[in-house]
Amino acid sequence: MNLPAQTPRPLILASTSRYRRDLLARLCLPFAVAAPGVDETPQPGEEPAALAMRLARAKARAVAAQCPGNVVIGSDQVAVLDGEPIGKPGDFDRALAQLQAMRGKAVAFHTAVAVDDGERVETADVVTRCTFRQVGDDALRAYLELEQPYDTAGSAKAEALGIALMERIESDDPTALIGLPLIALTRILAGFGLDPLDHLHPGHSTAPRAPHDA
């Protein structure tokens, strides 16, 4: 007896980040995006890894609570230099200061992901260690003026010219540094019945929908 195939549950990315949206689209699963509206202020004495995980869980929970029956992905990334968190610079001067401080040093990027369906939550924290080259100020300024990575923690886009600032990258998942660890996420989604390879079929739509359409 052949049973009808189950329709996968709707998937929502609790983020309006274009980087995470583009990464998730690689998995060929249809999804919507929604802004989680979570306060990202660190708690007193909160460790960077704990901050990334708390925010990933909070983002997924916030959207899952509004959208029962959906599977929701939340993610957050915190960069750490000499034990201190590094945020998104926001402008040229802060970005230059970040890159100057990271020269010749290793920076740990904690990329946390949480998947919440309203009944259970599965999480992962993928750590990427980047060692930065000794690069002069003129080259750093030229890089920032060209790429303007002011919305990127650590002020360097490894998926673009920022890779030239790095001497070494160590990670189990090359997508984690960009903002969403797809290897860990694929494993987690499979546990929710959303293995990307199980849902491929002709005419499958992979295009994400507009923010707030969840």
Within 10 Å of residue 111's Cβ, how many Cβ atoms?
27
Instruction: Please indicate whether residue 76 is annotated as part of the active site.
Output: yes
Terminal alpha carbon distance of the chain: 36
Output the pLDDT for position 89.
93
Beta strands in the chain (DSSP E): 11-13, 32-33, 71-81, 84-86, 106-116, 121-132, 166-170
Strands 11-13 and 32-33: parallel
pLDDT for 171 equals 93
**Widest Cα–Cα separation across the chain:** 70
Give the per-residue pLDDT at 7: 59
- How do the pLDDT tens digits run along the chain, 214 residues long? 444 445 578 999 999 899 999 999 999 999 999 999 999 888 898 999 999 999 999 999 999 999 999 999 999 999 999 988 888 899 999 999 999 999 999 999 999 999 999 999 999 999 999 999 999 999 999 999 999 999 888 899 888 999 999 999 999 999 999 999 999 999 999 999 999 998 775 544 444 444 444 3
Closest CA relative to residue 47, chosen from 110, 92, 2: 110
Domains contained in the chain, CATH given: 11-198 (3.90.950.10)
**Contact between residue 13 and residue 34 where contact means Cβ atoms under 8 Å apart:** yes
User: Which is it for strands 121-132 and 84-86: parallel, antiparallel or unpaired?
Assistant: unpaired
This prediction's pTM:
0.85
Count of residues in the chain: 214
**Catalytic residue among 39, 76, 125, 151, which?**
76
Q: 3-state DSSP call for residue 147?
A: helix
